[in-house]
């Protein structure tokens, strides 16, 4: 059984050597044939040079370098496409995914599981972030067509058939957490201790990026926000009709009075804001359709030590086109 590691990298020059040393030591102790597929996502700090040096020193290293920063989703997709192992582990290069858990993943994989998922606890996270995360997962699991688990990310082992299932999903706007859940297959989850980010390394996940990522997850696997717009519209129509009946009744019983200025302004402002929100939701879906119809590639390669023409994924694609 051959194992592949897929490691997306973006400006990781200060840690990639330590990561490679730690993961190579762990894989060497397991005694299995392996490859490490590093994906440089358009780094600007010398990460690519570090990967080239690692590839020169270690024949197990494969690397791909993008022409620019295409994002982690594209990097994971590229790594999965070029990984040739019977099982594939996805992990980050910043050592927040402990390499010593790979052995446990392999043990569970050999028991017949197609997805072995590592779930981190939230020990050490700020209370506000934990609260928002739990609220988000509660909300998205009420709306989305797939179930997402709090604390579960990209750190997991995938069998070859699970990888092939993911590669069949060709959408441009990818939300891997949802895709992992969508493909199904036999899965098992275990928990590990949260590894805190070193003080000198600032997290790239700002509040704005977390919010955008959350919206991607909410909109990628359901159309319920659009349906909600219908229900809200019907509710407001009913409220407006009831209010109109009440105004007519008051006019008949007590005569016509001066209409309330504050009520009118509040109604106009509230309804206008609601309409803008609904247009924004519709615009998000239309924007996704717009990008999907362009059929642009998820990434462009600038440099690699692999031959794309000889890769199994490329050969399979050619055979599909021929048939």
DSSP state of 308: G
Q: Provide the pLDDT for residue 123.
A: 65
pLDDT in tens, 142-183: 666 666 676 677 888 998 888 888 888 877 777 777 788 878
Q: Provide the pLDDT for residue 61.
A: 87
Highest mean pLDDT among 125-129, 171-175, 230-234, 311-315 belongs to 171-175
The better pLDDT of the pair 211, 298 is held by 298
pLDDT in tens, 50-75: 888 888 888 888 889 888 888 888 88
CA distances from 201 to 19, 156, 196 (A): 15, 24, 10
The CB-based long-range contact list for 257-263 (8 Å cut-off, 24+ gap) reads: none
* DSSP bridge pairs for 61: 36
The secondary structure element, H or E, covering residue 4 is strand 3-9
Share of the chain above pLDDT 90, in %: 2
Task: Evaluate the CA torsion angle 271, 141, 292, 70 in order and state its sign.
Answer: positive
pLDDT in tens, 280-297: 777 777 777 777 777 778
Q: Provide the pLDDT for residue 321.
A: 45
Query: Would you place residue 110 in the very low, low, confident or very high pLDDT band (cuts 50, 70, 90)?
Result: confident
- Alpha-carbon distance of 130 to 140, in angstroms, equals 15
Reported pTM: 0.68
């Amino acid at each position: 059984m051959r194992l592949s590691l897929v490691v997306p990298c973006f400006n990781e020059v200060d840690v990639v050597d330590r990561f490679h040393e730690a993961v190579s030591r762990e894989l060497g102790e397991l005694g299995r044939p392996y490859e490490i597929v590093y994906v440089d996502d358009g780094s600007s700090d010398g990460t690519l040079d570090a990967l080239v040096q690692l590839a020169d020193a270690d024949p197990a290293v494969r690397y791909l370098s993008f022409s620019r920063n295409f994002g982690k989703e594209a990097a994971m997709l590229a790594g999965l496409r070029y990984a040739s192992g019977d099982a594939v582990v996805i992990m980050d290069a910043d050592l927040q995914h402990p390499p010593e858990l790979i052995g446990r993943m392999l043990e569970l994989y050999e028991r017949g599981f197609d997805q072995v998922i590592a779930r981190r606890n939230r020990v050490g996270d700020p209370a506000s972030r934990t609260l928002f995360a739990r609220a988000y997962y509660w909300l998205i699991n009420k709306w989305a067509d797939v179930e997402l688990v709090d604390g579960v990310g990209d750190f997991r082992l995938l069998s070859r058939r699970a990888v092939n299932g993911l590669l069949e999903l060709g959408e441009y706007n990818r939300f891997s957490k949802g895709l992992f859940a969508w493909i199904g297959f036999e899965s098992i989850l275990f928990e590990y201790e949260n590894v805190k980010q070193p003080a000198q390394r600032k997290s790239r996940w700002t509040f704005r990026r977390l919010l955008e990522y959350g919206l991607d997850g909410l909109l990628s696997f359901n159309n319920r926000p659009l349906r909600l717009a219908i229900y809200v519209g019907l509710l407001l129509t009913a409220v407006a009709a009831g209010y109109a009946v009440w105004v007519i009744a008051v006019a008949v019983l007590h005569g016509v009075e001066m209409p309330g200025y504050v009520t009118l302004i509040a109604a106009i402002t509230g309804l206008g804001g609601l309409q803008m929100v609904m247009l924004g939701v519709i615009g998000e879906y239309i924007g996704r359709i717009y990008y999907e119809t362009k059929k642009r590639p998820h990434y462009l390669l600038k440099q690699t030590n692999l031959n794309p023409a000889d890769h199994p994924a490329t050969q399979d694609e050619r055979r599909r086109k021929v048939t």
